[in-house]
Each structure stands twice: as structure tokens, then as C-alpha cells.
Structure 1
């Protein structure tokens, strides 16, 4: 493991984690949904557009992907919030939250991929 990659992950994770905290405090459940969906789009876009290019240094791709987006998104909070909704017998909200997170996440990954492919086609 390179020290530059480790430092990059730490730096970007600090930013991503704090952004998630602030959004979560302001928006609660909607905040978790928003950061997870936004992270799905952003990681797919960066993976297929920026990270796939040879001239991008590994410390930057590792820092942005693992650090920023990894700390920004949160599967554990999603699971905990979903569990709380189920324990509270909020079946409708729990179902909507699960479907929006799962289907929405996959849809946004696909849209991030499509945007990356379109931009790559324009830049060739």
C-alpha cells in the first residue's frame, strides 16, 4: 500500500464523512437516501469516466472512490433506519425506502455510466 493512497483516503474520507453527517442531521432519513443515491451516481460516473483514464493518479482515484464516496455513502445507516421502520411497523414507509434505495441506486449507477460514456465519446 502506498502512503500517498492512504493519506488521500484519510483526507477525502474526512470530507465525505462530514458532508454525510451534516446532510443526515439536516434531513434525517431523506438525507441518508439522498447521499446513498448521489453516491451511486457519482461512483459510477467517476469509475467509467475519470478512473478509467490512465493519466489520473492512483492516489486521486483511491481517495475519491474509497475515501470521499465510501465515507459519504452509508449502507449501515440505511440498514439501521430500515430496521427501525420495520420494528415500528411502518410497512409502507419501509417498503418505499427499500425500493427507492435499491431500484433508485441501480438506476443512478446506470445513469452515471451512460453520462460517462456520452462524455467519453465527445472527448475522443
Structure 2
């Protein structure tokens, strides 16, 4: 039964990533940085940390929901492999500056929003 929750979450997360990333990229169509991937990874860092922190510190979140949401939905919504690939492609296409900015921005903002989400999830505990 756990695999069904993970699979359903993964299905919805992958579709959401595609739609959100496509929308964000259309807003910055002339930019060299893949903003769609950057956005979904930062959002995913925040949301996963927030939900996990809530589950640890304040709420009893059912195991099946956590499997659906954390492993399934967020696991497929965020994408480390695409992030790495896009960094390499930017570098290969001689956008060395953009490659570096994308890499550093992703790491710093991802960590910042993960910490923010975790901290917000702990409020009141």
C-alpha cells in the first residue's frame, strides 16, 4: 500500500514540476539561467522542511501522507539531476558566469529556504 501512496505523489509531483517549471521559464524566456528548475528546487526545499518540521515538532502526520507528500510528491517535484545537468550545459555553452551564479544561488537559496521552512514548522512547539 505504501508504494501506491509514493507512486501517486510522484505522479502528481512530476506533473506539477513540469507545469510550474514551464510557467516560470516562460516568464524569463530571454535569461540564460533555468529559473524554472531553480524555483521548484527552492520551493521544494522550503515545503519539505516545513512539513517535516511540523511532523517532528507539532503535529502527528499520518505515515501514508508523509510517504505520499515527502517521498512521492516532493521527491519528484524537486530535481537534483536536472539541476546538475543544466549547470553543466550552461558551462558547456560558455555561460561560465551563469553556470556559477546558478550553482551558488541554488545552493544558498535552497539551504536558506529549507532552514526557513524548518524554523516556521517549529513555531509553537
What TM-score do you get using the length of structure 1 for normalisation? 0.87
Name structure 1 gaps, 5 residues minimum.
none
Name structure 2 gaps, 5 residues minimum.
26-33
**Map of 1:27 onto structure 2:** 24
> What is the Cα-based RMSD across aligned positions, in Å?
1.5
User: How far apart, CA to CA, are the structure 2 residues paired with 1:55 and 1:116?
Assistant: 13
Matched residues, number: 117
Aligned positions of 1:1-124 closer than 5 A: 3=1, 5-28=2-25, 29-50=34-55, 55-118=60-123, 120-121=124-125
Is the contact between residue 51 and residue 61 of structure 1 (CA under 8 Å) also seen in structure 2? no
The structure-2 alpha-carbon separation of the partners of 1:32 and 1:97, relative to structure 1 and needing over 3 Å to count, comes to same
Post-superposition offset of 1:53: 5.5
